[in-house]
Amino acid sequence: MKTICRLGILTLLVASLQSCSCEPESIAKGALWGLEKMMGEGFMPSEEIRALGNFQGMNVNLSQTNTDEGSESTIFLKLENGDPFLLGDQPDLLARKCAELYIRDFEKSDDYDLITVQFIQSDPMNPDNFAMKEYTFNTIDF
């Protein structure tokens, strides 16, 4: 709940700053800096990951689920509209490399059991039409 409140405050701060005549790039950098300080260093995927597949979009979601058997925590690394040539014939190897780089960079990765890498390709003519491949790894393997 605290994380949701912090994210809400950060969102309000960014929204209020967007209305000023400041440089948008510096505001975005400041917001990302604040998010990384709150969520942990390396939370945002690196440009190294983006370059592996020439991804047009990157997103991270963190999930913790409690069940009767215990708890499970997962990092969801969503990589959008990568270059099909770079994704290649073995996207599972690329997914593993992306997961390895993310786990290396994210200082709080030890708090999570799994990392799921999602490759999403959307149709530019119809955004509702998309394809997704998903690969899940144990974080302890990295």
User: For the chain, what are the domain ranges?
Assistant: 2-39, 47-141
Average pLDDT, the chain: 82
How confident is residue 10, by pLDDT bands cut at 50, 70 and 90?
low
pLDDT on residue 5: 45
pLDDT on residue 42: 76
Q: pLDDT by residue (tens digit) across 97-109?
A: 999 999 999 999 9
Three-state secondary structure string covering the chain: CHHHHHHHHHHHHHHHHHCCCCCHHHHHHHHHHHHHHHHCCCCCCCHHHHHHHCCCEEEEEEEEEEECCEEEEEEEEEEECCCHHHHCCCHHHHHHHHHHHHHHHCCCHHHCCEEEEEEEEEECCEEEEEEEEEEEEEHHHC
pTM here is 0.73
Q: pLDDT by residue (tens digit) across 84-142?
A: 999 888 999 999 999 999 999 999 999 999 999 999 999 888 878 999 999 999 999 99
